Amino acid sequence: MKILLVYPEYPDTFWSFKYALRFVSKKASFPPLGLLTVAAMLPDAWEKKLVDMNATTLTGKDLKWADYVFLSAMNVQKKAAREVIARCNKFGTKIVAGGPLFTTEYEEFNGVDHFVLGEAEITLPLFLEDLERGCAQHIYTTNEHPDISKTPAPSWPLLNMKKYSSMSIQYSRGCPYNCEFCDIIILDGHKPRTKDTD
């Protein structure tokens, strides 16, 4: 199985850091940590390739190569995510979508074959099981929050680190606060959970 992990381009806002990055000769600020973590959860035998559209171009050759595109995005990337979906549909490449944007607004997106919503530690194994049996459903979702102490480290070998100005790590999920501008509590709950230091 050939999996293309795609992270859409940020719009020209503070999210992209587009103008500041020119001064340090980098393409993007941070790598797509969620997609890299999902990549680490996929079967080792599968071929995987990452296209972060903030750091590189998504080509027709990439889309022809892939059996599935795994697409993740945040709300600010909605327009670019729609464009990626349209391109995949044009090439007939199947799409598996997850992450913050799709978890909160999946009903707004047509042309996606499978939605794997919520935290991937719960929903991704269910999807992979069904996919192997040939009966993958359209939507996988959960309101549960997993123990993330056993979540694998991101699949760093997929990444060209030289294109990024900074690296990030995820140590915890969840937040006890209730800020009106933030969707973390909707996605990850109010109770902070931490990963192992290993």
pLDDT in tens, 49-59: 999 999 999 99
What's the pLDDT band for 198 if we cut at 50, 70, 90?
low
DSSP category for residue 87:
H
For residues 196 and 23, give the distance between their C-alpha atoms in angstroms, rounded to a whole number: 36
Identify the CATH class of 2-147: alpha beta
What are the distances in angstroms from CA 63 to CA 25, 43, 49, 180?
Answer: 28, 20, 11, 38
Q: What is the pLDDT of residues 67-101, one digit of tens each?
A: 999 999 999 999 999 999 999 999 999 999 999 99
* Residue ranges per structural domain of the chain: 2-147
* Pair of tokens at residue 61: 């050759």
| Better-predicted residue by pLDDT, 70 or 150 | 70
Alpha-helix runs per DSSP H in 9-77: 18-21, 33-41, 60-65
* Contact between residue 86 and residue 106 where contact means Cβ atoms under 8 Å apart: no
What's the pLDDT band for 184 if we cut at 50, 70, 90?
confident
- Mean pLDDT, the chain, integer: 93
Res 18: pLDDT: 77
Provide the whole-model pTM: 0.93
Nearest CA among 160, 155, 193 for reference residue 44 = 155
Res 44: pLDDT: 97
For residues 149 and 128, give the distance between their C-alpha atoms in angstroms, rounded to a whole number: 21
Would you list the DSSP string of 158-181?
G--GGGBS------EE--S---TT
* Residues 149, 35, 126: CA angle, nearest 5 degrees: 65
What's the pLDDT band for 181 if we cut at 50, 70, 90?
confident
